[in-house]
Each structure stands twice: as C-alpha cells, then as structure tokens.
Structure 1
C-alpha cells in the first residue's frame, strides 16, 4: 500500500466557542472543549482516514497529552515515530466564533525537540513513503531533513508553509516539489523573498496570469497550490512539470458545506491531497486537488481538528 509520511507537530487543543471572537481586554462567556490537534497530527489523521497508510514523525512529552497521541495513533492505525521530550506535549488555545472563524495561540512544548537526527533515523519509514508532508510548527532543521529524505528516496516532497509567521528559508522551498500556502502565507513568502506581494483584496482576486507569475517567482521548479478558503484554490505548475494536467494554471471551486468549524480545514486539505497523490500516482493533479477540496469541505461540518477528519477512501 502506498504510504504517506508526515513529520510535524502534535498539540492538545483547548477550544473556547463564543458568539464572536473577543476583543483585546474583553471577557466573554462561551463553551469549552478539548481534543487532539497540531498541524502535523491533523494532516496525518487526514491522510490515514483518506485511505493511505501513514507514518507520523513527531516529538511527545511523557504526560497525558503524549498518551493521548499514542492512543489515537493506535486507534487510527498510524505508524507513530516519536522523539521523547522532557517538555510537556504541545498545546493550542483556540477561540472560535459561531460562524466558524478562529484565532489560535500555540505552546510548542515537546514539538520544539524534534531534531534532524531523529528524523534521519527513520530511514525505513522514508524508504516506504510515496509522499512526505511537512509543516512549520516544528524546528526548521527537522523539517528540512524530512524534505531532503523525501527527495533522496524518490518521494514527493510537500511543504505546507504554515503558520504564516514561521520562517521559510530558501532551502526549504528549493527542496519542495509542492508548496501549499493560504493567501496570508503566500503574501508573506513573497515579501520575505523580496518579490512582489499581493495587496488589497488578496491574491485570490488577481487575474490568473498575474497570480501564476507570482507563483512561478515563489517556486520556479514545482507546483504551488494556493488555498483560498471559500473561493477554493489556485494551482500553478512549472511548464515542464504539469503533473498530468493540460494547463499550467487553473482554479478549483470550493465544495459546498454546512460550516460548523473551520479549524483544521487546511490540514484536512493537505492530508487528503497527500493521500490521493500516494494512492493514485498516475491520475492528473487536478483530480487530486478536487478530492482534497471535497475532503476539506466535509471536515468543516464537524467541530474539532483531528477528530473532525472524515473517514473516506480516495
């Protein structure tokens, strides 16, 4: 069975839901819930529930949060490769309004202890991987090591450059085959690399030709999938690497959904895209994006992050 390897973060999410998000200095009444999250774990669960065998490489504390990760990984059949840490397992405070919008604060905890050496030591897992997916809630050296191992083993190297305030070095982009920013992350990446940056309504409002040119500036050699929330996504390929698509750029509309909670929707998209790429390597890239778009939409119809990932087959 084709395998997805995800290297990244696990957090215990603490979620407060209120009619609207609080203003600075304001106290609101609301509801509280807790559950598993972290971009890495969300994406690993999405990849597994979307049908791909999945390995998750992370760092966990020896506390209740770490035990939660271990139990959930076993329950979903995820091959967990954990670096031990003396720090508490990572946490996230999530504030959610009734429209499904959220604000998030993360405490890295054990996630900060994932090392390049530990990642490199999982050589057998990388040897079996068709797609390697990473994000930026873990230390950059570990993430770069995962991308380099992907390239060395012939797997697709897929970078989700989130969260938006994370530093993305040129080497990370150079080692990535596919990059999946949202509009905020995309603008930040262009600015930090000294390129032109979208302004006003954002990248999604730009004409396709202009947006495609910006994507080519960001990743000349590979594929950029720019996620646009309710507007779907924009795909931009290098001309010589269209991945089975007829055109170098196009848009994919968002799938309809009755939105309850958008937390983890981007992770659902990334995990499902990685799973589809692993399971159907000869399909056109547009088919993978269509599947990931529908999967992400379905994830917004339930509360939570990892727990909201639908159990589907690609």
Structure 2
C-alpha cells in the first residue's frame, strides 16, 4: 500500500541535558540527562504516523547501534523505512540543552544524514510519486532534498519544505518545486535574505502587520508560506488564485494555551501534523490543516523529548476533540 505521507529527512540520536537555565558562554551548569530518537525528518514522520497517516521515512543511518535503534523504533511506530546505510558514516547525533522554560539550544552532527545521496532518493521515485504529500527539510544533503521535491512535484503531489536548520543550505536550495514553505521567524528572515535580499530580522517577523508580512512572503515565489511564530501561533500567506480552499489570501492563527516544558520538537510536530492533515483530509480548507498542526505542536511541548514527545491521535483527540 502506498504511503499517504513520505518524509525525506534526517534521523539523529538526541542527547539531552535539562538545566534551570541555559549556560552562558564558558559557564558549566548542573542538570539532568536523557537520550532518545530525534532528527527533523524522523520527528516529522513519527508525528504524521501517530496522527494516523500511512507514513514512509526515507533517510540515511550508520551501521551502528543508534541506527539499529532507529529501525526498531520505526517498527514499533508502524513507520515504513527506506534507508541508505553509507559505509564509514555514523548515525547523526544532536546535543540538546533545555532550560526551565522549555527553551532550547541544539548542535547537530549530521553523520550519515549529510551523505544521503541523490541517487538513493531517485531509487524511491515510485514511492515519492505515489504519496499524497512529500515533506522534507534541510538536515540532509541539499541535492537529495531537491530531488525528492522534483519527483513529487512532477507527479502533482503536494510538496512541503521546512527550511530548517537555518544554516544548512538555505542560500543554495531551489524553491521552484515547493508548494508549501514552513519556516519559523528566524528561518523566514534567512530564506528571504538569501533568496531575495529581504531586509527583515527574525525577531521582528511576528510584529509585522499582516499586509506587510504577506507582501514579504509573496517575494519568495512559493504558492503558500506558513510562518510559525511559536507561542504566537502562525501566519499563512497564499498566492492569488491558489487559496487551497481558504477564503483569504493571508491570515493568522493564534497560539494555544499549554504548559510547555520542552519546545525541542515543536516545529517538527507542526510539519508532520500539517502533512498528515493534508493527506488525510484533502477536501478541507487549508486553514483546518494549519489549525490542527498548530494544536498538535502546542500539545507536543507538554512532554520532554522529540520523536517520543509526539502525541498519538487518541491523545490529540482527548484534548481537542475531532
């Protein structure tokens, strides 16, 4: 059976330290430690699968215990896997520091993710062309990302690019095969600067007027841009004539009231949930999918971890119904 959502992206083994506050440069702080599965691609795939979408993860793992752990987890989550195992490359890893307010600092060592090959992704063309939605990010080789988007777009599938992390290929990535771009504030400013020389700072994005922010989104040439704004919710911008069932070209959706303890995987939760909603409910207005994704991401911050923090469909329905 074909996947409804295909995610091309990264797997990282997360090493997480929790302290009362983030350390200053040169400072040592005491805290608590745990490890678990992460990586933007894997987090997003788990989110989509837990919401009930038949999901395929395409990525790269090392021939090491962390890679085997990822394969075991995928079976547990009923997540289909197509995985390249490049010789001599370790499974990706990430160091995550979380403070008492749920804010985080992250450093990623890409390992096998960095060499996910264009050829390997082309080998998954049949699966990518059959999926309803193809979602990818920038935590793997940029050529592999562009290949996945092009294959899906050529078959008329919905393509979503989450341009994260911000320092990984933003200036090099082509946006021509992207239907929906999903940056956060910092990523939006970086993409705008790299692609169009945009004069906006990340910290100021949320405070821009709706018309001004919509005009900046339209400069990117992508049919739909969704800027996630953390606790402030998100902003949606459509090109004229491509409203995806919505009534307006641009609008905001407010943030949800939650007791956040860890925001590490919130952006990934949003993207995975958005892809799942679009695949599972193709006839509904786009705003419905964004509202679901916004709520799902908020709920994910109420528990620690990344992939393991993704709520199940039952947990989501218990909070929000539907």
In structure 1, which of residues 202, 208, 212 is the aligned counterpart of residue 214 of structure 2?
212
The change in CA–CA distance for 1:64 and 1:284 in structure 2 (over 3 A counts) is: same
Do the aligned partners of residues 55 and 152 (structure 1) sit closer, same or farther apart at CA in structure 2, a change above 3 Å counting? same
Displacement of 1:260 after TM fit?
A: 1.0
Alignment of 1:108-147 (within 5 A): 108-147=110-149
Measured in 1, the distance between the counterparts of 2:17 and 2:3 equals 38
Corresponding position of 2:317: none
Structure 1 residue 171: Cα displacement: 5.7
- Pick closer, same or farther for the CA change 1:200–1:223 going to 2, 3 Å: closer
- Tell me the residue number matched to 1:285: 286
CA distance in 2, matches of 1:82, 1:262: 28
Aligned-partner SS, 1:244 = coil
Contact 2:269 2:310 in 1 (8 A): yes
After superposition, what is the alpha-carbon deviation per residue over 1:43-96, rounded to whole angstroms, capped at 9, x for unaligned? 000010011000000000111110111001011111100001221100000011
Structure 2, unaligned runs of 5 or more: 315-321
Report SS of the residue matched to 1:174.
coil
Give the drift of 1:127. Answer: 3.1
Following superposition, the deviation at residue 125 of structure 1 comes to 1.3
Kept after mapping to 2: 8 A contact 1:2/1:279: no
Distance 1:38 1:309 in 2: 13
Provide the residue aligned with 2:225 in structure 1. Answer: 224
1:23-51 C-alpha deviation (Å, 9 max, x unpaired): 11111110000000000000000010011
Match of 1:43 in 2: 44
In 1, Cα distance between equivalents of 2:40 and 2:103: 17
Q: Deviations over 1:260-303 (max 9, x none)?
A: 10010000000000000000111000000000011001100100
Aligned length: 313
Runs of at least 5 residues in structure 1 that lack an aligned partner in the other structure: none
**Residue 234 in structure 1 maps to residue 235 in structure 2:** yes
Normalised to the residue count of structure 2, the TM-score between the two structures is 0.94
Q: Distance in 1 between matches of 2:195 and 2:126?
A: 35
1:245 CA drift (Å): 0.3
The separation in 1 between residues aligned to 2:172 and 2:21, in whole angstroms, is 38
CA distances 1:169-188 after superposition (whole Å, capped 9, x unpaired): 57621110000000000111
Secondary structure, in 3 states, of the residue corresponding to 1:281? coil
3-state secondary structure, aligned to 2:287: helix
1:200–1:139: structure 2 CA closer, same or farther, 3 Å change rule?
Answer: closer
Superposed structure 1 runs of 4+ greater than 6 Å apart: none
**Kept after mapping to 1: 8 A contact 2:300/2:309:** yes
RMSD: 1.4
Kindly indicate whether the alpha-carbon contact (under 8 Å) linking 1:269 and 1:293 is maintained by their aligned counterparts in 2.
yes
**Superposition pairs of residues 54-133 of structure 1, within 5 angstroms:** 54-86=55-87, 87-133=89-135
Partner-residue secondary structure (3-state), 2:27 = coil
Residue matched to 1:175: 177
2:168 match: 166
| Alpha-carbon separation, structure 2, partners of 1:38 and 1:81 | 16
**Structure 1 pair 2/63, CA: closer, same or farther in 2 (3 Å)?**
closer
User: Hey, what's the Cα distance between the residues in 1 that align with 2:147 and 2:103?
Assistant: 34
Q: Give the SS at the match of 2:216.
A: helix
